Amino acid sequence: MQNWMALLPASKHEADDASAPTWQPLDVRPLGWWALQFTPRVAQLEEAVVLECHASERLFGGREALRGRLVKGAQAQGVAAWAFASNAVAALCVARHCLAQGGTQADDADARPHTRTVEQLLNTLPFTTLSALRPHAGTLARLGCRTLGDVSALPRGGLGRRFDAAALRALDQAYGRSPLPLSWLTLPAVFDERLELPGRVETAAALLHAARTLLQALCAWLAGQHAGVESFTLRWHHGLRRQEAHAGQHTVRLSNPTRDLDRLSQLLHEHLQRLTLAAPVEDISLRAEQIAPLVTHSHSLFPEQGGDQLTAHPDGLLTPAAQRAQKEALWTLLDRLSARLGPERVLAGQVHADHRLEHAQIWQAALHAPPAARDASADTRAGLSPWPQPSWLLPQPVPLTLLPDAQGQHEHPHYQGRLQWLAGPHRVEAGWWDNAQPDSACTRDYYLASSPGAGLLWVFRARHADDTATPAWFLHGLFA
């Protein structure tokens, strides 16, 4: 038996009643894109989206499980009413009836879907739920008809002569007596949607509200693609003349692909706060620049503790689901910090095999660091030199002051007190082959020194210092 679902998006009138100013949704296409993740048989029928998901039931774990997912997702998509039935027109009629009743849940069809045939279901509905009968509402009402059952009980020949053929065909289609031709919705290859603003928007931060509508459509499109977005561009146009000079754009990059609407809109909010608009904006458009397939994680065999919400405990990392959630939260944080501070100031480091201290680590923007490097689980403990290594490294070696001894014969390096040698020398002579960088060659003797004020220090003496003016002793690291 076919399993049709009809989704009625929230209508414009309803949105007007709400106190918060909401933008009118693009159209029903985003809803259809979202539904495409469940089944390829999605179509637009009048104001609604209908989908047939009989073939996908096994993939999603049975009819009830799939219905549960559809209903849960549809609520998140802001659907006003939905209904299930054995054909598309019947489902649409039930959904319209539910919307008219003010409820979102299709009780009749949902709670007892198998106990009632489509005929029993439709017979009780008002005939106005079938849009083809609406032009004849007055005549039918005067005939004493209230429900679809009343209309279908009328003599068929007379019905066909009295009204147009469309009404009879629609009635047949609703009762499943004749097929309904539908053109299936296809997912556009590129997401580039435009939204005209109802009024002029002066500040960049105020664009967010409108952009959220586009982001919602983007997330629906991404759901259909089974993908996440890595970077997207928001464009805006000033005035009516859509020329390059009268437009602006901003590209947002993410550290990992996602289709989480809240995360995207938070990030865009952070970016928009830093922008100033040259002139009032009249319309905006959003384009997905880079998308990447989103890995769907299989559910574990056993119920996981704390899978959905972050636990306030370090041991909450023990389950894979919690680790994924943690990773997602960390990426969201890095995106946010990079958006405000600039990506070059949120840095992730990598260890590089080199004897020169300043070349033994590479810091790069955490946003652009390859995920493979970040996820590398190789233990970097092995293969390191057995020598002491300072935990703080000075960005530039600091020259040490040389103060004469009591006898005045010798000079001794000082750093917050007279240095006492504990160990050394540890000779580093490397980098002479690297001609590209002038300062890369390094011939140094490192010593572990103790300073009365600064603790354990890692100081070096530059060997082969040919210039007499340059001091020979430097502080390079601290054993904090």
| Site for another protein, residues 421 to 450, rule: CB under 8 A | 421-427, 445, 447-448, 450
Contact call for residue 410 and another protein (CB under 8 A)? yes
Question: Using CB under 8 A, which of 115, 409, 435, 437 touches another protein?
Answer: 409
What dihedral angle (degrees, nearest 10) is formed by the CA atoms of 272, 273, 277, 281?
Answer: 50
Give the integer Cα–Cα distance in Å for 474 and 442.
13
Please say whether the beta carbons of 284 and 210 come within 8 A: yes
d(CA 77, CA 219): 10
- In the list 58, 72, 313, 368, the residue contacting another protein (rule: CB under 8 A) is 313
Binding test (CB under 8 A) with another protein, winner from 142, 161, 241, 464:
464
SS3 assignment for 153-197: HCCHHHHHHHCCHHHHHHHHHHCCCCCCCCCECCCCCCCEEEEEE
Q: How far is the CB of 109 from another protein (least distance, A)?
A: 40
Q: Give the residue with the Cβ less far from another protein, 143 or 341.
A: 341
Size of the site for another protein (CB under 8 A): 87
The nearer residue to another protein, 206 or 472, going by C-beta atoms, is 472
DSSP 296: P
User: Residue 10, Cβ neighbours under 10 Å: how many?
Assistant: 17
CB of 240 to another protein, least distance (A): 39
Work out whether 341 is an interface residue with another protein (CB under 8 A): yes
Which residues make beta-bridge pairs with 444?
428, 462
Cα 128 to its chain centre, rounded Å, is: 41
Q: Closest CB to another protein among 202 and 411?
A: 411
For the CB of residue 215, give the shortest distance to another protein in the complex, in Å.
Answer: 21
* Interactions with another protein, residue window 342-361 (CB under 8 A): 345-351, 357, 360-361
The helix/strand/coil state of 319 is coil
Selected from 336, 356, 399, 434, the binder of another protein by CB under 8 A is 336
Q: Would you count residue 398 as binding another protein (CB under 8 A)?
A: no
Least separation, in Å, of the C-beta of 205 and another protein? 17
292 near another protein (CB under 8 A): no
User: Least distance from C-beta 358 to another protein, angstroms?
Assistant: 9
CB 393 within 8 A of CB 480: no
Does 363 participate in binding another protein (rule CB under 8 A)? yes
- Of 422, 426, 428, 427, the closest CA to residue 455 belongs to 422
Query: Of residues 69, 162, 412, 414, which one binds another protein by CB under 8 A?
Result: 412
> Which long-range contacts does 442-446 make (Cβ < 8 Å, 24+ apart)?
442/356, 446/387, 446/476
Residue placing its CB nearer to another protein in the complex, 158 or 408: 408
Task: For another protein, give the closer residue by CB, 161 or 297.
Answer: 297
**Smallest distance, Å, CB 256 to another protein?**
14
In angstroms, what is the minimal distance from the CB of 327 to another protein?
Answer: 9
Residue type, 110: D
State yes or no: residue 308 binds another protein (CB under 8 A): no
**Contact with another protein (CB under 8 A) among 190, 308, 381, 439:** 381
* Part in contact with another protein (CB under 8 A); list of ranges 54-62, 67-75, 244-252, 304-312: 304-312
Could you tell me the smallest distance in angstroms from the CB atom of residue 225 to another protein?
A: 28
State the residue for tokens 């609406």.
134
Calpha distance 410→445 (Å, rounded):
19
**Residue (of 120, 103, 116, 130) closest to 48 by Cα position:** 130
Contacts of 68 (CB under 8 A, 6+ apart): none
Q: Which residues contact 407 (CB under 8 A, 6 or more apart)?
A: none
Note whether 274 binds another protein by CB under 8 A: no
